[in-house]
Amino acid sequence: MNNGSKKAWLYLLPALILLGAFLVYPLIDVLIYSFEEGYNFASQTYWGIGGYNYSYVLHDPYFLQALKNTLILVAITVPLSTGLALLISTGLSSIRPLRQLYQTVYFLPYVTNTLAVGLVFMVLFQKTEYTDGLVNLMLQWFGGPTIDFIDGPYWAKMFVLCFYTIWVVMPFKILVLTSALASVNPDYYKAARVDGTSRTRIFFRITLPMISPMLVYLVITGFIGAFKAYSDAVALFGTDLNAAGMNTIVGYVYDMLYGDSGGYPSYASAAAILLFAIVLTITCINLLVSRRRLED
Amino acid sequence: MDIRLQDITKRFAGRGRRSQGETVAVRELSFQVPDGSLVGLLGPSGCGKTTTLNMICGLEKPTTGRIFFGDKDVTDLPPELRGVGMVFQNYALYPHLTVLQNILFPLENLKGAARPSRQEMRRRATEAAALVQIEELLDRKPRELSGGQQQRVAIARALVKMPRVLLLDEPLSNLDARLRLQTREEICKIQKKTGITTLFVTHDQEEAMSISDRIVVMKEGVLMQEGKPQQVYDDPASLFVARFLGTPPINVFKARVQAGELWLANRPVLAVPGVADREVWAGVRPEGFIPDEAGPVVCTPERAEVLGRDLSMVCSHPDARDGALRAILDPACGLRADAETVRFSLRADKVLLFDTETEQRIPFAADKGAAR
């Protein structure tokens, strides 16, 4: 090891120690937990090593429900929120008057507390004995049937969860995309105008490729964020997510540790490792696809 | 097809809360680019050159005035209907497309009957690439090219639609010195080969002088002078134009005309028949000094710069506007920088007189080549 690289390691040390203590060590620990069968939290003992925890989790209907919920949430919210954010930020960059105001308005949800927003959504969508809620009132005006979105059919609950998630994650995406759009050199647009390029062609052939690195970033972080959804569901449906049938994988992990049915760190660890594997796979696929795209 | 600008004025609304006023970028500008010629639009930064170019190309609309291409008034036409090709200062090549895709881009915008077949597009793109000698680079991305090569791609992209007018915005400013010389000849050659009416913008007078058929000099949005490069150089209308053209720049002296003679430092230095007695700015081109032991211009040499072909001598002179003068001499003239004084006589055709107030030219009947 030469002097230069010794120095480099020295400078990296603080970060490496923190990462090791709070990221790498716990990850390995979780991996070990997940293979320890019959682990007893009080006596810190276990029977043996094996895959039973995984088999239990994979056969647990609550986990399968949580997995299904999470996958639906990811599949709906990531493309929709990114697409809508792209649409809105494109719109924002092409208007002049009151642009700052609109940007602020669109960014507000980002600085608002998730649980507070969840409460507002619940009030809007819930149907109780005392009130139908604003959304149901509107449905009635248009002659539709009233539905309890918070405590009703599965698809209604899923709709609210997706709606809410999109609403919460969009501001950040709009912010990133607006600045990405603003950083495209206006000379490209001038050159395109001299050549008589249509607006749609400018958007798809110039704007989109120019901001694609930012789009890739948003899609990848979007996937990861949606897979880790939990607080959103709690904000809307309360802490007993299994009963509501709206649990997510992270919610399942939490319940296994601390919930009413909790006290099973081994099952929680196995579920956490499964989530980790899914997120890792999806992210790798994302990177591969986007790299091939960008290289074209 | 020629380009004619008729009383073009462009005003921009003032920006920000404090500056309520508006900026006049171009004021009552009229000039003509003759058919098939290469014209340089020249002026210092911020003089409205690029705005003028943008108005000709259609990216911006003049506040008042008309623009004609041939007999056709194009003032209200959008850029794509004007038949112009434009090369931007930073080339504006799309970085995610290959050279070929970049050159094809304008053709792919064409619609309906005007849209050529795929093969025809390819043929025209390779033809344009051949014209600027980049055929072997077609599959590369712009970032893999040198500045000069990127410039050629930009020219090929501008030419592929076979425009009637080619506009170049500061085409050489992003290139290094050696490439600049080479590229400006290249541009000149391509222009002669295609015979396309070309207007280019530059702040570099040498660039404009060297390749243009005609030059147009602007200052603060106003046309100062236009004409053939040599003619504008020899016969500038104002002190601004005289100082702007020529490297090293013209030497300016605070001088006096008395009884038909130009006086510098209390000596008559040149006969200037027909000029009334007055104070003047006297401009002397660096090549207008002739070493002469009995010459009337006496100055103290400060340093000599040997440039190989020429000898550039800097001398101090009490009446020079910036304290010193620079003479371009023959290295064989025998003048030395460590001499006490050097004396010059002046070439009458290299001496220009200007009014001290208006800085306009004061003509006098120069006795060509005669030295006093």
pLDDT of B334-372, one tens digit each?
888 888 889 999 999 999 999 999 999 998 876 544 443
- The residues facing B165 across adjacent strands are B84, B197
Task: Find the residue in B nearest to A191 (Cα).
Answer: B92
Of A74-83, A134-143, B78-87, the poorest mean pLDDT is in A134-143
pLDDT for res B371: 42
User: Is B231 or A126 the better-scoring residue by pLDDT?
Assistant: B231
Q: How many residues does chain A have?
A: 296
Please state, as a whole number, how many other Cβ atoms lie within 10 Å of the Cβ of residue A143: 6
Residue B347 forms contact with A (CB below 8 Å): no
**CA distance to partner chain A, nearest, from residue B157 (Å):** 9
Domain A61-295 has CATH 1.10.10.60: no
Which one of B74, B96, B140 makes the best mutation probe of the A interface by having the most chain A beta carbons within 10 Å? B96
pLDDT in tens, A162-186: 999 998 899 999 999 999 998 999 9
Which one of B81, B86, B92 has the shortest CB-CB distance to A188? Answer: B92
Domain at B3-240, CATH class: alpha beta
Tell me whether residues A194 and B161 touch, CB distance under 8 A: no
**CA distance to partner chain B, nearest, from residue A206 (Å):** 7
Are B172 and B181 a contacting pair, CB within 8 Å?
Answer: no
Residue whose C-alpha is closest to residue B289's, from B333, B258, B246? B333
pLDDT above 70 for B270: yes
pLDDT in tens, A285-296: 988 888 776 655
Tell me whether residues B109 and A190 touch, CB distance under 8 A: no
pLDDT for res B366: 65
pLDDT in tens, A107-156: 888 888 878 888 888 888 887 777 777 888 888 888 777 777 777 788 88
Are B220 and B24 a contacting pair, CB within 8 Å?
Answer: no
Q: How confident is the model at residue B185 (pLDDT cuts 50, 70, 90)?
A: confident
**Interval A192-211 mean pLDDT:** 91
Strands B165-169 and B84-87: parallel
pLDDT for res A231: 86
User: Is A259 or A90 the better-scoring residue by pLDDT?
Assistant: A90
Residue B17 forms contact with A (CB below 8 Å): no
- CA B316 from centre of chain: 30
Cα dihedral B252/B256/B259/B265 (nearest 10): -90
Q: Is the ipTM of this complex over 0.85?
A: no
Tell me whether residues A209 and B84 touch, CB distance under 8 A: no
Distances (CA, A) of A201 to A62, A94, A198, A209, B92: 48, 16, 5, 12, 17
Q: With pLDDT > 70 as the criterion, what percentage of chain A qualifies?
A: 97
pLDDT for res A211: 92
pLDDT above 90 for B99: yes
pLDDT above 60 for B211: yes
Chain B residue numbers touching A187 (CB-CB < 8 A): 88-90, 92
User: Is A96 or B225 the better-scoring residue by pLDDT?
Assistant: B225
Q: Which positions 72-131 of B are in contact with A (Cβ < 8 Å)?
A: 78-81, 84-86, 88-90, 92, 94-96, 105-106, 109-110
Which one of B85, B96, B109 has the shortest CB-CB distance to A209? Answer: B96
Residue B59 forms contact with A (CB below 8 Å): yes
Strands A36-37 and A48-49: antiparallel
pLDDT for res A296: 54
Which one of A187, A195, A212 has the shortest CB-CB distance to B80? Answer: A195
**Interval B26-42 mean pLDDT:** 92
Residue A190 forms contact with B (CB below 8 Å): yes
Q: How confident is the model at residue B153 (pLDDT cuts 50, 70, 90)?
A: very high
How is chain B split into domains, by residue range?
Answer: 3-240, 249-362
pLDDT above 70 for B56: yes
Q: Residue B91 contacts by C-beta under 8 Å, 6 or more apart in sequence?
A: B142, B150, B151, B153, B154, B174
